Amino acid sequence: MKTLTLTLFMALFIGLAHGQEKYITKQGNISFYSHSPVEDIEAENNQVLSIVDTSDGEIAVSLLIQSFIFEKSLMQEHFNENYMESHKYPKAIFRGKILELGDLTENDKTATIQGELTIRGISKPIETTANIKKMDDSIVLTGSFLVEVKDYKIKIPSIVANNIAKTIKVSFELIHQPYN
């Protein structure tokens, strides 16, 4: 019985010790920006889930397409219905690794992130640099990268081809808290 209790505690302890190396956010911010001669389009998602494991630099990010908020409501509807087909592909997912994470300080340091971005069920390798720092208990990750619309087979009808950029700038600000 004693052994059992001990093992139980150990199992619990292992779980906890491991948990302290993980940092999570459920309210991360990801926005995108499309610039074209006709109009600029912007949308923001404040319910991004992201988790970082500081022991090996692994990172995973997940968001719901329909949580992007646009200034024009009709645009938001078309984004979901016609372009992203969010009923078919509700999520966008990134999984990857922060290279050479090392020790984190209160000062921003630049790190390379490599991984795979999945949008509309299509996965593409992606590499970008991000600023990373540790403030109090949280790990803050900020940066931006570019996404080619055609990589993810998003169909843009010719009538609005001039309104939507071919390359979309995606910005992120993820403030992770310790995960228990």
Partner 1 sequence: MKKAIILIALLGLGATSYAQDLLGILEDEAPETKNYVSSTFKGTRILNGHSVENRKKGTLEFIISHRFGRVNLGVDELFGLDQSNIRFAFEHALTDNFMLGIGRSSFEKTYDGFFKYKLVRQSTGKNAFPATISLFGSTAYKSIKDYDPNDKPDFNDRLYYTSQVLIGSKLSPGISIQLSPTYIHNNTVRTKDDPHDIFALGFGNRIKLSNRVTLNAEYYYTFNPLESLNTKNSLAFGVDIETGGHVFQLILSNSITMIEKGFITETTGGFFDADIHFGFNISRAFQTGGRKKRHQLKKL
x/- string (CB under 8 A) for partner 1, residues 32-51?
Answer: ------------x-x--xxx
Burial 13-32 (b: 16+ CB within 10 A, else e): eeeeeeeeebbbbeebbbbb
C-beta separation of 66 from 88 below 8 A:
no
The window from 7-15, 99-107, 108-116, 144-152 that contacts partner 1 (CB under 8 A) reads 7-15
Tell me if 116 contacts partner 1 by CB under 8 A.
Answer: no
C-beta separation of 59 from 174 below 8 A:
no
The window from 22-30, 98-106, 109-117, 145-153 that contacts partner 1 (CB under 8 A) reads 22-30
Closest to partner 1 by CB, 58 or 151: 58
Tell me if 53 contacts partner 1 by CB under 8 A.
Answer: yes
Tell me if 151 contacts partner 1 by CB under 8 A.
Answer: no
Phi first, then psi: give them for residue 56, nearest 5 degrees.
-130, 5
CB atoms within 10 A of CB 180: 9
Give me the sign of the Cα torsion angle 133, 60, 88, 27.
negative
C-beta separation of 111 from 144 below 8 A:
no
The footprint of partner 1 (CB under 8 A) covers 3-4, 7-8, 10-11, 14-15, 18, 22, 24-27, 29, 44, 46, 49-51, 53, 58-62, 64, 66, 69-74, 76-78, 80-82, 85, 87-88, 93, 95, 155, 157, 159-160, 163, 175, 177, 179
